[in-house]
Amino acid sequence: MSQTPPQTVDLLIEARWVVPVEPHGVVLEHHAVAVHGSYIVGLLPIAEARAAFAPRERVELPEHALIPGLVNSHTHNPMTLLRGLADDLPLMTWLQEHIWPAEAKVMGPEFVRDGVELAVAEMLRGGTTCANENYFFPDAIGATYRKLGFRAVVGLPVIEFPTAWAKTQDEYFERAGEVHDAFLGDALVRTAFAPHAPYTVSDASFERIRVLADQLDIPVHLHTHETAHEVEEEKRKSGLRPFQRLQKLGLVNDRLIAVHMTQLTDGEIAACAEAGVSVVHCPESNLKLASGFCPAEKLRRAGVNVALGTDGCASNNDLDMFGEMRTAALLAKAVAEDAAAFDAAYALRAATLHGARAMGLENEIGSIEEGKQADLAAVRLSDLETQPMFHVASQLVYASGRQQVSDVWIAGKRKLAARELVDMDVPAILAKARAWRERIVSYA
């Protein structure tokens, strides 16, 4: 009886541990992931994988954990070029007196392209393979992500004042439609509506967004309940809390990606769970701007899909999702007064599968499963800082850092190899960042 010949595949990654995220909390020892084209086609013990597959390339990671690529569910990546510009200030002072004036002087396609390129380099070196982007000039942003082979959901901005991107509300919506159409069917780049926040977007604009988001089948990604001041101002103006206003306008549904959410009642948490809202927790940005504490554990217990984001580099000041996992887990314990809150396995899930779910990508990315896209990151756990090894998920969240990410793949393509970026000109990226620094300083 003849034996079935091994299946030819493009890549076989053999790891000391595979943390698939789904099933939840599982760690597989001495397993391999088989990849063909952009897809995962097998996940099985190494010995079985070697018999079942004939790979064109084999990568052996005997001291590593292989995890799904991390998903940064809220960021403003062009603002990487504003990193550290106006630190140690409260949100509205930071935004109105420093960030918006600086952006008015530099914002344009070139600034956006160079900022995204710098951000992609940083994210890849930190194991991040997907970003939920929220900034102006989404055409240039999306084109840059596409060129660099990075997965992203690009926000279509709407705000109630003129910017370099659009002068009128009609123009914001016209350009949103053009950008959405330009990336329709793209393998890596999707779109979402990105109204800035309830305090900068009118009821009329929100109503248009609700209708169009339903028609186009895309998410709505916005900042809301970021600070107590925002909530009080909305109550003064409309008599409603911002979340109530969004409910009244029909936006509280399973398309909503609500970012920050530091000021929530128990009723609002229950409403999020019932409606299928995703909440993006940005713990380090909220801490730095003293915006408040997202009740992440209460949201988790209620069954809300909680994802993690860094926010932009102007308010964080990095794109380090390992840092966000650790901070989110620790902060949730303090806020909930419960050491068991937001455990390590959940923190990793929030940084992967829950982010994918928020963006409508949970069938494609966020876990290591057959049929999903091969967005993967290898984390070296042999360093003295992560020894001895008792629990892999705990070491990933509480002890390891982005500097231990060695290799990254997006859609099966190698993007980081032994800490070296593939097909990215690092000296040129650094030179452009320094040139922007000089331009921005000259405007001050």
Compute the distance between CA of residue 439 and CA of residue 437 in angstroms, rounded to an integer.
5
- pLDDT score of 444: 58
Q: How far apart are CA 234 and CA 208, in angstroms?
A: 20
Strand, helix or coil at 377? Answer: strand
Q: What stretch(es) of the chain map to CATH 3.20.20.140?
A: 70-358
Q: What is the pLDDT of residue 2?
A: 55
Per-residue pLDDT reduced to its tens digit, 332-345: 999 999 999 999 99
Q: CA-CA distance, 409 to 384, in Å (whole number)? A: 26
CATH 3.20.20.140 fits 70-358, yes or no: yes
Residues of the chain with CATH 2.30.40.10: 7-68+374-411
The predicted pLDDT at position 392 comes to 98
β-pairing, 413-417 with 405-410?
Answer: antiparallel
pLDDT at site 420: 98
Query: pLDDT under 70 in the chain at which residues?
Result: 1-2, 444
Assign domain 7-68+374-411 to a CATH class: mainly beta
82 secondary structure, DSSP code? G
* pLDDT tens-digit series, residues 15-33: 999 999 999 999 999 999 9
Query: Strand, helix or coil at 200?
Result: helix
Could you tell me the pTM of the whole model? Answer: 0.97
Report the C-alpha gap between 21 and 27 in whole angstroms: 8
State the DSSP string of 331-346.
Answer: HHHHHHT-TTSS-HHH
pLDDT at 3: 73
